[in-house]
């Protein structure tokens, strides 16, 4: 009886919430049996109360004879015996310590590990404590595929800590943005408008390509990708490709960098005077038609204009009536103006002027003659029948003097 009373007294020394030291007695069937020091009673440490990793092997986590610091959860009485044991936890003790460490640390950056993707974000672990990162706080852009972060360790900023509500919210985006801001400042301090720099194609859009300059993504607009018109960005660059670009403009406040790829490559107008000259007869392809003429590609990247008046000797009301896009034509170079980027062409200059009907020719010839100004008609005044032999008396005989 005395021994039984001593046993009961020792049991009373252990209560839920106590932090105890225990020695591992056995490890078997996914749990460890431990002896709680100074009490004479045993405890049960399951894999669930040891780690959050359900796939872990308990034999790799604890060893027989090892001493552990544990949290007492509750008392367990055997069904068939009068034995009393306690359910203990290593994981929850570590979580309690973690909570104590977290209180008042909002705004600090800590290293966490993503354990699994959950609805609305990521579940992460910090020193045995489970935290949550909302999907909107994972990256600078909304992340739909959160699975790719599982198993990764990364820095995150503590946003909210509430032990009573078991609430631990973090943000990876804040850290990413701060790192990007520092990198952006460094990159902007090194960039100069007009210089050529090297970067990698980060992503391609319908309106151009973004080039990673080592912390800042600069945009090469569609019009600055190539000297050719109406090209697809994917036909010019590929993601991951290293390219040389020219800095066109910088806006550090907005974090924008305007770049040009075509400015680093020879343009089609470079040395065009050696390739084209007035009087040359060359082959070309009609690229586009307008109300005032047709643009014909005569060299890669160079379109010359065939004015509507130079399409045919016959009257052309609309260039579409005489030409089609994609049509191969022979043209004569009338003028080359490299400074203004203009080439004037003619199709009718290579065609024989059609013969005209005799009446039309005469009319045209007559119409083409300069007309003399009309002379003022001469008036003839009739004199009296007797033009001679009259005297003053004949004229003024009735007047008394």
DSSP alpha helices (H): ranges in 258-370? 358-368
CA pseudo-torsion sign 197, 198, 200, 201? positive
CA neighbor of 282 nearest in space, from 317, 320, 321, 329: 329
Q: Is the pTM of this model over 0.95?
A: no
CA neighbor of 310 nearest in space, from 348, 354, 283, 351: 348
- Identify whether residues 60 and 85 lie together within a single domain: yes
CATH code of the domain containing 314 = 2.40.50.140
Cβ neighbours around 134 below 10 Å, total: 15
The pLDDT value recorded for residue 328 is 94
**Most confident among 90-99, 105-114, 351-360 (mean pLDDT):** 105-114
Cβ neighbours around 187 below 10 Å, total: 22
- Tell me if 384 is assigned to some domain: no
The pLDDT value recorded for residue 271 is 75
Question: 217: domain range?
Answer: 192-260
| 296 touches 284 (CB < 8 A) | yes
- Identify whether residues 282 and 244 lie together within a single domain: no
Q: Does residue 358 have a pLDDT over 60?
A: no
- Identify whether residues 85 and 115 lie together within a single domain: no
- Identify whether residues 207 and 243 lie together within a single domain: yes
The pLDDT value recorded for residue 255 is 81
- Tell me if 390 is assigned to some domain: no
Q: How far apart are CA 331 and CA 325, in angstroms?
A: 15
- Tell me if 81 is assigned to some domain: yes
The pLDDT value recorded for residue 210 is 95
The total of structural domains in the chain comes to 4
| 305 touches 331 (CB < 8 A) | no
- Tell me if 336 is assigned to some domain: yes
- Identify whether residues 346 and 304 lie together within a single domain: yes
Q: pLDDT of 282-339, one tens digit each?
A: 999 999 999 999 999 998 878 899 999 999 999 999 999 999 999 999 999 999 988 8
Domain boundary among 231, 260, 289: 260
Q: Does residue 178 have a pLDDT over 70?
A: yes
Q: pLDDT of 115-125, one tens digit each?
A: 999 999 999 99
Burial class of residue 113 (count of CB atoms within 10 Å of its CB; 0-12, 13-18, 19+): middle
Burial class of residue 277 (count of CB atoms within 10 Å of its CB; 0-12, 13-18, 19+): exposed
- Identify whether residues 280 and 251 lie together within a single domain: no
- Identify whether residues 48 and 71 lie together within a single domain: yes
- Identify whether residues 343 and 277 lie together within a single domain: yes
Q: Does residue 388 have a pLDDT over 50?
A: no
- Identify whether residues 210 and 235 lie together within a single domain: yes
Q: What percent of the chain has pLDDT over 70?
A: 84
Domain boundary among 207, 225, 260: 260
Domain boundary among 234, 260, 286: 260
DSSP 202: E
- Tell me if 309 is assigned to some domain: yes
């Amino acid at each position: 009886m005395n021994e039984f009373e001593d046993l009961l007294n020792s049991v009373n020394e252990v209560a839920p919430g106590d932090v105890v030291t225990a020695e591992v007695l056995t490890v078997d069937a996914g749990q460890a049996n431990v002896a709680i020091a100074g009490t004479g009673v045993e405890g049960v440490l399951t894999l669930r109360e040891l780690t959050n990793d359900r796939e872990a092997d308990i034999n790799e986590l604890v060893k027989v004879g090892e001493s552990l610091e544990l949290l007492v959860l509750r008392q367990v009485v055997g069904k068939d015996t009068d034995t009393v044991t306690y359910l203990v936890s290593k994981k929850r003790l570590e979580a309690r310590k973690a909570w104590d460490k977290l209180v008042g640390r909002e705004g600090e950056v800590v290293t966490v590990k993503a354990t699994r993707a959950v609805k609305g974000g990521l579940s992460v672990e910090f020193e045995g404590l489970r935290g949550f990162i909302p999907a909107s706080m994972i990256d600078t852009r909304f992340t739909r595929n959160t699975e790719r972060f599982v198993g990764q360790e990364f820095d995150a900023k503590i946003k909210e800590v509430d032990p009573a509500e078991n609430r631990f919210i973090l943000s990876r985006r804040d850290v990413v943005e701060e790192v990007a801001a520092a990198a952006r400042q460094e990159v902007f301090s090194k960039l100069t408008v007009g210089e050529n720099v090297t970067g990698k194609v980060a992503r391609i859009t319908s309106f151009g390509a973004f080039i990673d300059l080592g912390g800042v993504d600069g945009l090469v607009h569609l019009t600055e990708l190539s000297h050719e018109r109406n090209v697809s960005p994917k036909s010019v660059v590929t993601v991951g490709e290293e390219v040389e670009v020219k800095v066109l403009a910088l806006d550090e406040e907005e974090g924008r960098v305007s770049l040009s790829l075509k400015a680093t490559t020879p343009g089609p107008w470079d040395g065009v005077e050696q390739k084209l000259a007035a009087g040359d007869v060359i082959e070309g392809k009609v690229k586009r038609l307008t109300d005032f003429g047709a643009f014909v590609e005569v060299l890669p990247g160079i379109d010359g204009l065939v004015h509507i008046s130079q399409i045919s000797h016959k009257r052309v009301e609309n260039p579409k009536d005489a030409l089609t896009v994609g049509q191969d034509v022979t043209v004569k170079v009338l003028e080359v103006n490299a400074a203004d980027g203009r080439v004037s062409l003619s199709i009718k200059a290579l065609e024989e002027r059609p013969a005209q009907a005799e009446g039309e020719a005469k009319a045209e010839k007559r119409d083409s003659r300069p007309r003399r100004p009309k002379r003022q008609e001469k008036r003839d005044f009739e004199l009296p029948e007797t033009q001679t032999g009259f005297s003053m008396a004949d004229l003024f005989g009735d007047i008394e003097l």
